[in-house]
Structure 1
């Protein structure tokens, strides 16, 4: 993280500066789309976004990357127990960090500081960890309702955590449902893109009733993954999930104008780039069981350039906005004249 961003945010404590820098490194390494969009935020808000991402990534890595092998399957009890213990330790550090404003692990320290600065509801973090714990034992979801229950903690709360940092031009409660839905749309995009990788970890996030409606089950997904072949039934199911994901974007879209104008280009850029992942999946023939779809570099650059133009315009408009006049105070002896 650049010193300019930390200075702009008023982060002077050496330990916290290192903690925020670690979170930024996690974002830059693992969240290319997210990181690119974050660069469009005002400098003083970027550290908070990196802290939120860094904590989420740290927990996700415990679930998926602890140990030498892929994620735990239904019989991998020893690895599951080790991951659960690591999540418990992170949860304990989180509880202490949120209570004291300073955690032991750098990602927790940065998160606790961000939570305090922006008055983020602590329930969003505990709900997130609850969904991460379920990933250790839950390997599939019966229907969209069950999946939405999981995504409340794994995705919707991420949007709700971000909202105080971004700022709004309407009451925060009015914008909250749209922020939550955008988090869900982003995660559904990841689910579609990562079907093959998640299958290797023993998980199928696409709802079982949707798969069954197209004649697909886990065994067919596994055969396609192992053989490198496609199957029209799988393609049909993936296309149906794509339609559900695009519907989530449409539901989230009305929330974009509710954001602070200087933060709006950041989220709009993420909105467009994540949507472009869906385009890339479709353009690649829904071959997500065999390879990860990638947004072409040229399109990423064009979207980023558009975002930069928008954020420049928003910042200029903010500078030119007239300073509000101080409220008029009625004269103590002539209130009727002031009212008139």
Structure 2
């Protein structure tokens, strides 16, 4: 039988491997909150991997959806550490079940939708795959201020997902997906054919920047709510936002070469950003 502590350790390894940004930011949380975040991330990662890496994603996701419904009834596979850790989280905190269901719905969209026409469509998708993560975490990070922080969490998720879209253009194309809204590209005279040819010119930069500036508006909306987080969660959440937003600046410094490299914020750069927060 896998113990609760072993299950949390498993979840920590998952986030440590797959998201150094989130791992670094949320490592500053108190232990109870920190390991709960690991469990939620492991859940999200499991769904994401089914959709992106699964051999039969439709079937595997259908099975996962059944498992989650069973989980909500208190039935879990005894040997699966993610479910064991998540069950403990649900026992410790008043979790938002709908956010988990919406996350699954968002991941499922990737199985049938490969293009986005408008920025509003991209926002809808971003809510489901990213804002939901914030809504899952609010009962852990700020249980007494969930309602006040809800819109800010949604905005942060959309800003982060827009950042993912702007960073992962090449990776998404390899999967047959175009998240850059076709109407935004058309507005600047850039086409899907240009995208597939990996053209980086003034048209691409203008389209990219129009989405990036919108992402920065969402980051700003989140920042307006930051003071409502309890002290122990405020810096970790702020760091996650700052680290992610910095990816946009990295891409700009790299002259928008999203087709040939994947921008990331180094450990040294994260340390510098942390110092800037510390002196404020």
TM-score w.r.t. structure 1 length?
A: 0.77
1:300 matched residue in structure 2: 270
1:113 matched residue in structure 2: 88
1:258 matched residue in structure 2: 228
Structure 2 residue 126 is the aligned partner of structure 1 residue 151? yes
1:175 matched residue in structure 2: 149
- Selected match of 1:38 from 23, 26, 30: 26
Deviation at 1:109, TM superposition (A): 2.8
Work out the CA distance in 2 between the residues paired with 1:159 and 1:262. Answer: 16
2:258 matched residue in structure 1: 288
- Selected match of 1:48 from 36, 44, 49: 36
Alpha-carbon contact 1:130-1:153 (below 8 Å) kept: yes
Give the gaps of 5 or more residues in structure 2.
none
User: Is the alpha carbon distance of 1:272 and 1:217 closer, same or farther for their aligned partners in structure 2, counting shifts above 3 Å?
Assistant: same
Higher-Rg structure is 1
Work out the CA distance in 1 between the residues paired with 2:275 and 2:62. Answer: 42
Aligned residue pairs, count: 279
Alpha-carbon contact 1:168-1:175 (below 8 Å) kept: no
- Selected match of 1:279 from 229, 241, 249: 249
Partner-residue secondary structure (3-state), 2:232 = coil
Work out the CA distance in 2 between the residues paired with 1:109 and 1:191. Answer: 32
Superposition pairs for residues 237-256 of structure 1, below 5 Å? 237-256=207-226
Deviation at 1:165, TM superposition (A): 0.7
Deviation at 1:305, TM superposition (A): 4.6
Alpha-carbon contact 2:155-2:218 (below 8 Å) kept: yes
Measured against aligned partners, the alpha-carbon deviations of 1:6-42 in whole angstroms (never above 9, x if no partner) come to: xxxxxxx953222222111110001011000011111
Give the gaps of 5 or more residues in structure 1.
1-12, 68-81, 314-340
Measured against aligned partners, the alpha-carbon deviations of 1:33-85 in whole angstroms (never above 9, x if no partner) come to: 10000111112211100011111111111111224xxxxxxxxxxxxxx1011
User: Is the alpha carbon distance of 1:127 and 1:61 closer, same or farther for their aligned partners in structure 2, counting shifts above 3 Å?
Assistant: same
Alpha-carbon contact 1:193-1:292 (below 8 Å) kept: yes
Partner-residue secondary structure (3-state), 2:130 = helix
- Selected match of 2:169 from 181, 195, 217: 195
Alpha-carbon contact 1:19-1:107 (below 8 Å) kept: yes
1:87 matched residue in structure 2: 61
Work out the CA distance in 2 between the residues paired with 1:119 and 1:264. Answer: 20
Measured against aligned partners, the alpha-carbon deviations of 1:154-179 in whole angstroms (never above 9, x if no partner) come to: 1111111111111166x421111111
Work out the CA distance in 1 between the residues paired with 2:44 and 2:143. Answer: 23
Partner-residue secondary structure (3-state), 1:289 = coil
- Selected match of 2:159 from 185, 205, 222: 185
